[in-house]
Amino acid sequence: MKNRNKAGLLIILAGIGAGVAGGLIYYFEIGCNSGGCAITSNPWMSAFTGGLLGYLLTDSFLPFFRKKPGNSETGK
């Protein structure tokens, strides 16, 4: 049971990290030239928004990565 929780936490942390990296890449590559954009005018907000989206995506897909109870490889 503990290994399953650690694996889920690692997947969520990887999703947050990928989201933060994606938000920073978006800021530096596309960004907002005028400074009037609320999210993309600040690298911290872009990273936070990317991390939040990464968390939400990985948390929504996390049940697909978990094995269902009773479906063991031994057939018991």
pLDDT tens, per residue, the chain with 76 residues: 466 678 888 989 999 999 999 999 999 998 887 778 878 888 999 999 999 999 999 999 887 766 666 655 555 5
Give the pLDDT of residue 72. Answer: 56
Give the pLDDT of residue 2. Answer: 61
User: In the numeric block, which tokens belong to residue 29?
Assistant: 């590559």
* Dihedrals phi, psi of 35, to nearest 5 degrees: 85, 0
Give the pLDDT of residue 33. Answer: 78
* CA distance linking residue 16 with residue 50, whole number of Å: 8
